[in-house]
Amino acid sequence: MLQKELTHPIFNIVSEESQKLGFETFVVGGFVRDIYLKRASKDVDFVTVGSGIQLATAVKNRLQGAHLNVFKSFGTAQIKTSDWEFEFVGARKESYDRNSRKPKVEDGTFEDDIYRRDFTINTLAISLNKDHFGKLIDTFNGLDDLKNGIIKTPLDPKVTFSDDPLRMMRAIRFATQLDFFIEDQTFEALKSEAHRLSIISQERITDELQKVIRSTKPSIGFKILFDTKLLDKFFPELVRLQGVEFREGKGHKDNFYHTLQVLDQICTRTDDIWVRWSAILHDIAKPPTKRFVKGEGWTFHGHEDKGSRMVKPIFTRLKLPLGEPMRRVVNLVKLHLRPIALTKDNITDSAIRRLIFDAGDDLEDLLILCKSDITTKNKKKEERFQANLVHVEENIASVEERDQIRNWQPPIDGIEIMKMFDMRPGREIGLIKTALKDAILDGVITNDYEEAYKFVLEMGKQLGLQKQ
Ligand code: ATP
Ligand code: MG
């Protein structure tokens, strides 16, 4: 009996109001599952054999400070308090049409409602009926699957996935979040029904993908997505990272598995999903930049630049936000090799200043990415690489403290340069701006207005511009 888990006063109220209305009501799905997983949840779904809207209305009147939303066309209602969300829905039966994940819905029994659910671990229910208050109803042995860590559909997985292909993404998301194993037949159906993902909107697919990425160990989900070929359907660039090629006895690492390791490693250092995305995309342009140089081996020259230019088309297709989050990912991908270059000997302060300037507010995240990008299996090497990066970090801190480069702008900006020569924006103005910035960062001139003014005048003269 689970009475003691039903601490919120609403459970008793729902029980009493159901009794009055003559409805049988149950708590179902995620909330029940999460009790056993010891994940406290404040989202509760109630299924009633009767009208969900009628029940919710009666319950709302007895709960202080609660808000009721009614969705007439769906026959559902929602009660919100400051921190809880309760969904009320009448038990239903579903039948599917091949071209849509929206089923035809009719009223049904409690069993009908349990049968239409996605995984056995989500079919658990708790009775709120007077004589059985708190009793667990486990129609499909969901509790055993929960204890054994198994994701399995209650009915034929092929039918379940073909009916609503979003469930394939949900299976993989749960396997990742909970570190569960997908039962063999269910796994086979992910492969055979992968093509059905085409009827799901990209927003919904991406929503589940983001949940995978927010998990403690996202590689679990990406490996299943890869093995089932679901990944091909929406993220072919990542699939192309897989594989190794040998020539003249020289190979390169498998960039797919390398990327997944970097992603898992970055997850131990940051919860920021966009920094996690920079790990996913940091080597994305390795396949299109791959060359074999005779006598030398494999090179991926320029993969950081090309990769940074691949971010926007990928974000656009995946319907990810194109503003500030994407700007950060682009910057991190573009700069991901720079701190490594600073681990060499004889690094000048000006090289460090330049990185601080280029990275701006992304500098800490960039170092997190670089530390996570170390995947050598050799313990000694790994320690040395990490120590090198800590050293770079210290150098950056001391240069930054002295020169305050971050968020620094040259004393003369583009607009002033245009005014000086009565010019419109164009190549010359860009050249002068960059040269001025470089001259100061390299210590050729000092960082003050007078010197900058002289420098700009001189540059203008060389380019044949007239001072106004
Ligand atoms: P989370 O809240 O962590 O996303 P959840 O399992 O609670 O996980 P919800 O989307 O809140 O997911 O759905 C609540 C319940 O509804 C699920 O536990 C499941 O029983 C059922 N359900 C949700 N989506 C589907 C679906 N696509 N097909 C079948 N049943 C579903
Ligand atoms: Mg939920």
Q: Which fold has domain 149-234?
A: Hydrophobic Seed Protein (1.10.110)
Give the tens place of pLDDT for each residue, 273-318.
999 999 999 999 999 999 999 888 999 999 999 999 999 999 999 9
Count other C-beta atoms under 10 Å from residue 56's C-beta: 26
d(Cα 372, Cα 386) in Å, to the nearest integer? Answer: 9
Binding site membership of 221 for ligand 1 (Cβ less than 6 Å): no
Tell me, yes or no, if the pTM score tops 0.75: yes
Predicted confidence band at 99 (pLDDT cuts at 50, 70, 90)? confident
Q: Which CATH class is domain 3-148?
A: alpha beta
Cα of 457 vs centre of ligand 1, distance in Å, is 66
Cα of 21 vs centre of ligand 2, distance in Å, is 26
Give the tens place of pLDDT for each residue, 128-179.
999 999 999 999 999 999 999 999 999 999 999 999 999 999 999 999 999 9
306 burial via Cβ count (<10 Å: 0-12, 13-18, 19+):
middle
* Nearest residue by C-alpha to atom 4 in ligand 1: 30
Number of the ligand closest to the Cα of 33: 1
User: Which position has the token pair 């396997």?
Assistant: 175
Predicted confidence band at 62 (pLDDT cuts at 50, 70, 90)? very high
Binding site membership of 167 for ligand 1 (Cβ less than 6 Å): yes
What is the residue-averaged pLDDT of the chain? Answer: 93
Cα of 355 vs centre of ligand 1, distance in Å, is 46
Instruction: Give me the pLDDT at residue 344, please.
Output: 79
Q: Which two tokens stand for residue 389?
A: 């990066």
Please name the residues in contact with 203: beta carbons below 8 A apart, sequence gap of 6 or more.
Answer: 319
Number of the ligand closest to the Cα of 176: 1
d(Cα 229, Cα 215) in Å, to the nearest integer? Answer: 21
Q: Which of 329, 240, 225, 224 is nearest to 284 (CA)?
A: 240
φ and ψ at 118, to 5 degrees? -80, -45
User: Where are the chain's structural domains?
Assistant: 3-148, 149-234, 268-408, 414-462
Instruction: Give me the pLDDT at residue 337, please.
Output: 96
